[in-house]
Amino acid sequence: MPDQSPASGPGSAAEPGRPLSLRRIEAVHRADLLEVESYDLTLDLTTSEETFDSLTRIVVTSAGGRTFLDLKPTSLRSVHVDGAPLDVALLQRGRLPLDLPAGRHEVVVDAVMPFRNDGEGLHRSVDPADGRHYVYGMSFMDAAPTVFACFDQPDLKAPYTLHVTAPQEWTVVGNGAATQVEPGRWELATTQPLSTYFVTLVAGPYHVVRDTHDGIPLGLSARASLAGALEADAEELLTLTRQCFDEFHRLFGIRYPFGEYHQAFVPEFNAGAMENPGCVTFRDTLVFSSRTTRGMRTQRAITVAHEMAHQWFGNIVTPRWWDDLWLNESFAEYMGNRVTASVTQFDEAWVLNSFQRRQWGLLADQRPTTHPVAGNGADDALEALQSFDGISYAKGSAILRQLNARLGDDVFLAGAVDHFTRHRFGNATMHDLLGSWERAGAADLGTFSDAWLTTAGPDLLEVDRTAGVLRRTAPATAEGVAPAERTHAVSLLVAAPGDGAEGGSVHEVRVDAAQVPVTVPDGGVVLLDPVEATWAATLPDATTVPLLPALVSATEDARVRAAVWNQLRSGVHHARVDPDAAVDLAEAWLPVETVDAGLVYTFPWVLSYLPHTSDPASSADRLQEAALVAARGAEPGSPLQLAAFQSAIGACRAADLLVAWLGGERLPEGVDVDLELRWRLLVRLAALGATDRAALDAALDAEPTAVSRVEHTRAVASLPTAEAKTFAWERLTGAVSVPNYELTAAGDGLWRSGTDGPDGVALPYVQEFAALVPTLPDVHSGWVLATAVEAFYPRSSVTAGTVAAMTTLAARDDLDGSVRRRLLDATDELTHRLAVRRAFRGED
């Protein structure tokens, strides 16, 4: 990865120590002092493959006083304020001090900036398929200063004008419409006021598809090697975009105000997508070059709608600081699902949300690192990055859905429109939005906000048949702090043994106390909140658990099947339900599930618990057979069949069968082994020790695509050999520098196991990991630092010794905040899994 700190040498500024992260108190002071009028950026991408030239002109008005400019160059040539030079040696730890008298000033910074390969700043990637180079900008959170000099905080918005020099064969797009004024020189139109973290540039020999809709120029782009796949997906993507624009315009009555709407699918992107106005960036794995499931297409549709929702929630109005992150992400999550379900072909969006996102949010909300939806306490920018989690997305979305049901659509939308209108192209807070809703006709929302938005943790709901009550247990709070008094409006589905949901009866229950009386039968299923109308962790009772396989086999309601899985998963997480029950449920469910998203997003969780079942090998064989039954029973060539066959691969322990499938033999009718399936099979063979490095290298050489390169890394690291684990480890230590996707794949492979837990050759890396982690910020930074810790965490070493070692590690006071957060979360998960083993496998 390119060095982000300035190098010592002629014309450079020596900068001891890591760059500082902006603290909130500093942002408040700087916003009081400055008003930024404009940015003018000149970028030359042709100077080398490692760096580019960046010339920044900022016009700013100061109230008079000292502040600083954010800047993280490779070398700093010059800085001028109103034409007078500043000493470049003043740059320290990413900050250049400025003393600006009251009045209007021009700041000009001439710097050399690093191309990066960690998915941040200006990321440069080489496509292994054809050797072509691609660049894209990701300025999010604190990466903008590695692209241009700036006052890097969300509430110092300004218009941007870009001038770009690029290789002549490249195409350039960005926030403003790009025009090639001569070969290799591009001028981008001045934007509306933007926060620094929205500024992007996408440049390279991209394949571009263009269209228009309702007066809005539309564009799609992807690497040249994906041109065929992009062309195949273009009509679906453009149709989604048209439908979503029409619906957002109908709902809000405020037109998209940022000119062009380009959707760029870029390589090695850390997030799913980034909502940069005018030029949204997506990870290019969302351009499907192999056959894929409907669940993956539905998730892509939701992502498209999510980023479009951000054009209003986040881009027209931006949070003043990151403690109101939910004003961006919770709304985009809610509106993305809502709009996808209501106006596109992917009307099962909310079902996918239940299968994929709900447990993500519930687990995050029960971790020791839980935080409120709003007012998350982020004191600095890097700490705030860790709050882009299941709470800010899934929980926040669920709370907004509850609020919409309470207020009604008219009041809910009128409040949003008032919010956009009052703060257009500016910044706002939670209290600003609550005020907008109250003006639109909502009652005082203070009580709602206190209970649902600013109090962390979910309530736990469970039925006690013996006592005839439904119990609500509030999350633990600090000493002396009263728990939130939340009211839940839920239903109980009661069904006789063997009946589906359609044959049961539904009882509405208002949970407004620690326990409320309910009448339930002695036998039969009792399913809490089957349509997941409230935010709570719901647990199945002991009588219900063994009846769930019959329920899912008989019911036609996919929402109920998803709710069953979420409740069983919560039960296993809390060591109330034996993982054997998950195998029983999956065995009955696989052949009857009709929404392939369930298989895509739930079955990997089942596989992760196989080592904790009473007979892992037998459990795996049962699941493989059930998945094959599902694959043979599905329509040949259908996405559902593909999802079922992927599940069969994941459970398969028989190397000879995997080899046969790899060779195109013994496959269910309709299954063809394409690139994605081929690597899925190779990774599974590697984990079982049934292939070798030479065979994996040959597979990469045969199809040297970006997908192949990442999956080759995953497969090699999965081999149960000391050499393979060294291969993975060298990528974490930086001994071998690789892009972000390959780094994550190496960590995944290091701890991948055949069936019964980690391979013995990986176990020494528990202590190696503990020793290395405190030094990782010297090797990795930003988004990738936390991702690397999560990827290489010894997740399959479920022992008291590993829990103790990781707990001690997380308690060190010299850890980066993002590292500590990932350690705490991963160790909490390990602790829960150890509790499961103790409760059901009798282990100490």
Catalytic residue numbers read 307
842 burial type by CB count under 10 A (0-12 exposed, 13-18 middle, 19+ buried): exposed
Task: With both helix axes pointing from N to C terminus, report the angle between 596-608 and 639-651 in degrees, rounded to the nearest 10.
Answer: 10
Residue 673 backbone dihedrals phi, psi, to 5 degrees: -85, 100
Residue 70, H or E segment: strand 65-70
d(CA 178, CA 163): 9
Distance CA 645, CA 642 (A): 5
With b meaning 16 or more CB within 10 Å and e meaning fewer, what string describes 267-287? bbbbeebbbbbbbbbbbbbbb
Helix (H) or strand (E) segment spanning residue 541: none
Residue 603: both structure tokens together: 């079955």
- Can you tell me the distance from the alpha carbon of 156 to that of 150, in angstroms, rounded to the nearest whole number? 10
Q: How far apart are CA 204 and CA 169, in angstroms?
A: 8
Cα separation of 76 and 72, whole Å?
A: 9
For CA atoms 609, 610, 611, 613, the dihedral sign is positive
- Strands 51-62 and 103-116, by their bridges, are antiparallel
Q: Which of 219, 200, 420 is nearest to 317 (CA)?
A: 420
From edge to edge, which strands make up the β-sheet containing 515-517? Answer: 515-517, 469-473, 459-464, 536-539
Q: Amino acid letter at 329?
A: E
Strand partners of residue 248: none
Sequential DSSP letters for 680-700:
HHHHHHHHTT-S-HHHHHHHH
How far apart, in whole angstroms, are the C-alpha atoms of residue 662 and residue 664?
5
- Other Cβ atoms within 10 Å of 496 Cβ, number: 14
Tell me the HSE value of 76 on the side-chain side, using a 13 A CA sphere.
33
Residue (of 85, 41, 90) closest to 66 by Cα position:
90
Distances (CA, A) of 689 to 55, 180, 609, 718: 53, 53, 21, 8
Count of CB atoms within 10 A of residue 232's CB?
13
Residue 92, burial from CB neighbour count under 10 angstroms (0-12, 13-18, 19+):
middle
Closest CA to 298 of 250, 236, 249, 358: 236
Distance CA 45, CA 40 (A): 16
d(CA 525, CA 544): 5
Residue (of 120, 140, 148, 388) closest to 268 by Cα position: 120
What H or E segment, with its residue span, contains residue 564? helix 558-573
Token reading at 668 = 């269910």
Q: 812-839 burial, b if ≥16 CB within 10 A, otherwise e?
A: eeebbbbbbbbbbbbbbbbbbbbebbee
Mapped onto helix, strand or coil, the DSSP state of residue 620 is helix
